[in-house]
Structure 1
Amino acid sequence: MKIIVSVFNNLQTDQRVEKVCKTLYDNGYHPHLIGNDWLGAPEMERPYPFYRIKLNSKKARFAYIEFQNKLYRELKKNADNKTVLLANDLETIVPNYLISKKLGIPLVFDSHEIFTEMPTIQGRWVKKIWKAVEKKFVPKIKRMITASDSYANWFVKEYRIERPIVIKNLPRRSHFSGINENDSKIILYQGWLNYSRGLDKAILAMKWIDNAELRIAGCGPAEAFYREVSIENHLEDKVKFLGKLTPDDLRKLTPKADVGISIEENNGLSYYYSLPNKISDYIQSRVPVVVSDFPEMKNIVNTFGVGEIIENHSPEHLAEKLKIVLEKGKAAYLHNLNVAADELCWENEEGKILRIFSDCKKELERSH
């Protein structure tokens, strides 16, 4: 069974989409992945076909419109009445919905976040447009997935829909080869460098932390701002920007850290209700964490005892919490990290994906 998977990005670093496609491929399905060349088209190898739509637009708002028009044409060209569609996030929902109706084929919608509650669109006119799209199409979706229990609860409350199936964005179970202790401690942030990530506070917290280095792995629109904070406060020797790393390089780097941070700020419900995949990446690498006091993140730390929760974003307070974890040392958290890593892994999510697509297959067989 052919499954056309579409997403608005250049495919290389979208680990959730990669894991879903690999699970489908390993279980006898035929995923065809469609993305675009927004922010480049890096070399990539996958065992299934993938294609990047070429975008000419230079501004994001025009790129979204161009992508949806071109995605509609691609879906129309490649889908038939034996195809299932998997749309990722709100940017792909309209063309997928129209083609699924036109051909009478199943559509699965995976909402990685609450797009209309992202910090980047709060208080802007584009929020009204995306909200209108969400309101029109989400209630019509028969099969919906999302990435956290809090997201699922929000969609139910907002649109009175059947509860989406929660498939957490967890890493694959990794082989643990033992703790490495560093003389100079490593505090790690990995992920997109956007505003509201709390990174400026983490940089300032380094004033109160000795014998440690903050390593920032990733790139994004706020990178220049975070570099400026580091320079203005004479912290260049304690803060290292590593740039964008491939998933493989990141997997080698993460286990070397002594503590991993996920300290997003509450500037939109999408962050507040999120369970960032970096938290489970740290745990899978047996690295304790310091996280924001948000429902999903706090639940992980309280359930498994794998780190500290900050009560506010003041740099001094953050430094205190980081020092607690650094002084205890990784070995003190190892048992709890092992238990958490065993539970918080992709292998425990795969069954839910396979049930959804088995259901789609039966629907196709009945209707054709």
Structure 2
Amino acid sequence: MERKIITSAFSNLYTDQRIEKVCKTLFDNGYSIDLIGNDWGGSEKMERPYSFSRIELKSKSLKTAYFEFNWKLYKELKKKVDKNTILHANDIDALLPNYLIAKKMNIPLVFDSHEIFTEMPAVQNRISQKVWRILERKIVPQIKFMMTESASYAEWFHEKYNVDPIVVRNIPRKILVAPDIPDNNPKIILYQGAVNQSRGIDKAILAMHFIQGAVLKIVGDGPMRKMYEKLVIQENLQNKVLFIGKLKPENLREVTKTADVGISLEENNGVSYYFSLPNKVCDYIQARVPLVMINFPEMKRIKEQFEVGEMITDHKPQTIEKAINKVLQKGRKHYQEELNRASEVFCWENEETKILEVFEKASNSL
């Protein structure tokens, strides 16, 4: 019997590395994969070894786009599923159609919660937050097969809904040979990821007033980019802060290897951020780039195991500057032994067995 998985997400799929890695792991282990995303935020050309498609959205606002996607996803799933299908929903914003079809067809559903969606800053204090919370409260306690991205997230879901998600961290594949350390002049401070609120980007920009002989490269895109570009001009930091834009994952990895220090300065704007393990943290570790991190639980766990950089306790520009300068003064070479050790632990190869166990259990329930 062919083992068939339909994976769906409210995503244009292009830069979603977690979905790419999960699908590739399952595909490499004999599952037939059909991936469904949408064209919200673009429909860049992609190549994958498995089938994928994007639902066309005509909505002009995100609120209506969610509704349109869920309705169209329901119809798409209805056409594609059979009794040998495992459904795989990524995040709350794709869960309802999957849940309804799984219940109707009596087939297994695997729910992968990339974050605590209902506590994200983008939905806080809005009517939409109440809607997502109702869905979460009604559906999540009934989920039999669930994954999530951090131990802190898993603890939150357990306390809230008495479920026990498997922790599958969104971390990169192993870089087997440590990259060469470049002799940069000026030194490169790197932020990579979405240019959104509550990422500490504006504080890092202001910290550049106090850091000499270095530039801050911001790699990524998002709704706050224009505002931060204006901040750079306002602060007369155009020569010290560079916006690189969004890159393909393979190009991003090459840029990451060139940095002297990587920053992950998330702000406590809800439990989803506070309990997260940002993708960039382990990207830096695999590239053997030392970090400056905020002292949130998942990042503290790493720092307690491995001396991979410096940790800050607040977002004052002077605090950020001191930590970055400390890393720059010690130099990237100083941290290499600990980064090498950490890279053996924080790699995708260690997560794959957990994914396969979840889907094997789901497959056995067919």
Please list the CA deviations of residues 221-260 of structure 1 after superposition, one character each: whole Å capped at 9, or x if unmatched: 0001111111100001000000111111101100100000
Does the aligned pair in 1 maintain the 2:179–2:288 contact within 8 Å?
Answer: no
Report the secondary structure of 1:119's partner residue: coil
Give me the identity figure in percent: 56
- Write the distance in 2 (CA, Å) between the matches of 1:133 and 1:362: 27
Show the counterpart of 1:263.
265
Write the letter of the residue equivalent to 1:283: I
The match for 1:192 among 182, 191, 194 is 194
The match for 1:304 among 284, 303, 306 is 306
- Write the distance in 2 (CA, Å) between the matches of 1:166 and 1:219: 28
Does the aligned pair in 1 maintain the 2:219–2:245 contact within 8 Å?
Answer: yes
Please list the CA deviations of residues 87-135 of structure 1 after superposition, one character each: whole Å capped at 9, or x if unmatched: 0000111000011011111100000000011111112221111111110
Across the aligned residues of Structure 1 and Structure 2, the Cα RMSD in angstroms comes to 0.7
**Deviation of the 1:12 alpha carbon:** 0.5
Write the letter of the residue equivalent to 1:164: P
- Write the distance in 1 (CA, Å) between the matches of 2:121 and 2:340: 34
Write the letter of the residue equivalent to 2:270: G
Show the counterpart of 2:94.
92
- Write the distance in 2 (CA, Å) between the matches of 1:124 and 1:310: 31
Write the letter of the residue equivalent to 1:227: E
Write the letter of the residue equivalent to 2:169: K
Report the secondary structure of 1:189's partner residue: strand
- Write the distance in 2 (CA, Å) between the matches of 1:122 and 1:62: 17
After the TM superposition, which segments of 4 or more aligned residues of structure 1 sit over 3 Å from their partners? none
Kindly report which structure 2 residues correspond to 1:59-78, keeping only aligned pairs within 5 A, or say none.
59-78=61-80
Show the counterpart of 2:173.
172
Structure 1 gap ranges (5+): none
- Write the distance in 2 (CA, Å) between the matches of 1:308 and 1:103: 51
Show the counterpart of 1:274.
276
Write the letter of the residue equivalent to 1:243: G
The match for 1:284 among 286, 300, 305 is 286
- Write the distance in 2 (CA, Å) between the matches of 1:120 and 1:87: 20
- TM normalised by structure 1 equals 0.98
- Write the distance in 1 (CA, Å) between the matches of 2:363 and 2:196: 39
Report the secondary structure of 2:122's partner residue: helix
Write the letter of the residue equivalent to 1:172: R
Show the counterpart of 1:134.
136
**Deviation of the 1:165 alpha carbon:** 0.4
Write the letter of the residue equivalent to 2:170: N
Write the letter of the residue equivalent to 1:357: F
- Write the distance in 2 (CA, Å) between the matches of 1:270 and 1:8: 18
- Write the distance in 2 (CA, Å) between the matches of 1:62 and 1:177: 45
**Deviation of the 1:293 alpha carbon:** 1.3
Please list the CA deviations of residues 314-339 of structure 1 after superposition, one character each: whole Å capped at 9, or x if unmatched: 00110001000010000000000000
- Write the distance in 2 (CA, Å) between the matches of 1:52 and 1:187: 35
**Deviation of the 1:25 alpha carbon:** 0.6
Please list the CA deviations of residues 194-244 of structure 1 after superposition, one character each: whole Å capped at 9, or x if unmatched: 011110000000000000000000000000111111110000100000011
Show the counterpart of 2:222.
220
Report the secondary structure of 1:108's partner residue: strand
- Write the distance in 1 (CA, Å) between the matches of 2:90 and 2:138: 16
Show the counterpart of 2:146.
144
**Deviation of the 1:181 alpha carbon:** 2.5
**Deviation of the 1:178 alpha carbon:** 2.5
**Deviation of the 1:140 alpha carbon:** 0.8
The match for 1:31 among 22, 30, 33 is 33
- Write the distance in 1 (CA, Å) between the matches of 2:229 and 2:255: 21
The match for 2:240 among 233, 238, 241 is 238
Please list the CA deviations of residues 256-281 of structure 1 after superposition, one character each: whole Å capped at 9, or x if unmatched: 00000010100111000000010000
- TM normalised by structure 2 equals 0.98
Show the counterpart of 2:81.
79
Write the letter of the residue equivalent to 1:214: L
- Write the distance in 1 (CA, Å) between the matches of 2:111 and 2:290: 33
Write the letter of the residue equivalent to 1:272: Y
Show the counterpart of 1:339.
341
**Deviation of the 1:302 alpha carbon:** 2.2
- Write the distance in 2 (CA, Å) between the matches of 1:308 and 1:73: 49
Write the letter of the residue equivalent to 1:8: F
The match for 2:251 among 224, 246, 249 is 249
- Write the distance in 2 (CA, Å) between the matches of 1:357 and 1:128: 31
Does the aligned pair in 1 maintain the 2:205–2:241 contact within 8 Å?
Answer: yes
Kindly report which structure 2 residues correspond to 1:292-331, keeping only aligned pairs within 5 A, or say none.
292-331=294-333
Report the secondary structure of 2:195's partner residue: coil
Write the letter of the residue equivalent to 1:152: A
- Write the distance in 2 (CA, Å) between the matches of 1:328 and 1:13: 33
Report the secondary structure of 1:229's partner residue: helix
